[in-house]
């Protein structure tokens, strides 16, 4: 049995590319992660990144019971190309009272099946890629987007040229924006961020949070790099002609009284 912890707990079942990436990201966020796969090689590959990894068969209820499934806050079923194993796993998790169950589906037709069994969210990798593209093109500074769960997203945000360099600890992002910086890319090199790391223009931050919160953080990083709202736009040719015409009319109007004064003075 796993010991109870105050951290939010996740069980990632299936450690292919999809499941392993989610497990690594959550572990970097200091979440309580238990990673499971029936294949020993898959478990070995992520063991250096995730403290709690187990070779286990999630289709067997007694195995999940021993692993403390009833105490898990959120389970992610990422078993690829095995519909039967995914269905049995979802049923077992539901029977243990897991409130949030996210499932990876390989086909559109499987989504409704998983929902009927009790899955709270079903993700198809191809759809997740489309969602990533849609979110990227909404903002020039959002470089990549990955849906982690129903509410949480991982994004890559570029830091604008107008940003004044600050350390991560000075930005106080968890308190001010309720997001986590889980990665820092400087000059193309990725690193796990440290509190004293200096964030500068041109850097890329890997951020996890809700869409509302990471968009607020993105605005903070790039607001000084954007054109001001009250900046005057260049005049069109039509507008230039109108302005020139008005100016000429005003000049002629002002000149007329002066001419009359001169004529009167001559008299």
Q: Give the span between the Cα atoms of 59 and 88, in whole angstroms.
A: 5
pLDDT in tens, 145-187: 666 666 778 888 899 888 999 999 999 999 999 999 988 999 8
For residue 183, count other CB atoms closer than 10 A to its CB.
18
User: Maximum Cα–Cα distance for the chain, whole Å?
Assistant: 119
Task: Report pLDDT for 122.
Answer: 86
Global pTM?
0.53
pLDDT in tens, 51-66: 899 999 999 999 999 9
For residue 168, count other CB atoms closer than 10 A to its CB.
18
Instruction: Decide: 67 and 36 in contact? Cβ < 8 Å.
Output: yes
On the question of pLDDT at 251 being above 60, the answer is: no
Which domains are present in the chain?
Answer: 9-123 (3.40.50.720), 127-225 (3.30.70.1450)
């Amino acid at each position: 049995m796993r010991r109870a912890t105050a951290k939010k707990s996740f069980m990632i079942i299936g450690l292919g590319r999809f499941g392993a990436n989610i497990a690594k990201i959550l572990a970097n966020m200091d979440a309580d992660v238990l990673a499971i796969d029936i294949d020993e090689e898959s478990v070995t590959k992520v063991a250096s990144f995730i403290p709690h990894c187990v070779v286990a068969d999630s289709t067997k209820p007694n195995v999940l019971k021993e692993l403390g499934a009833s105490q898990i806050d959120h389970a992610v079923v990422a078993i690829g190309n095995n519909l039967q194993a995914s269905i049995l796993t979802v049923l077992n998790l539901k029977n243990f009272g897991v409130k949030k169950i996210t499932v990876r589906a390989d086909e559109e037709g499987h989504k409704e099946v998983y929902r009927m069994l009790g899955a709270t969210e079903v993700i198809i990798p191809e759809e997740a890629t489309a969602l990533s593209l849609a979110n990227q093109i909404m903002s020039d500074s959002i470089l990549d987007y990955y849906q982690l769960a129903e509410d949480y997203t991982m994004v890559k945000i570029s830091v604008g040229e107008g940003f004044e360099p600050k350390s991560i600890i000075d930005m106080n992002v968890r308190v001010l924006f309720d997001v986590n910086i889980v990665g820092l890319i400087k000059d193309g090199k990725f690193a796990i961020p440290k509190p004293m790391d200096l964030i500068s223009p041109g850097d890329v931050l890997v951020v996890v949070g809700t869409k509302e919160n990471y968009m607020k953080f993105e605005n903070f990083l790039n607001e000084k790099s954007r054109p001001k709202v009250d900046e005057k736009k260049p005049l069109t040719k039509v507008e230039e002609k109108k302005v020139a015409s008005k100016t000429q009319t005003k000049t002629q109007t002002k000149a007329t009284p002066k001419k009359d004064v001169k004529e009167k003075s001559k008299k």
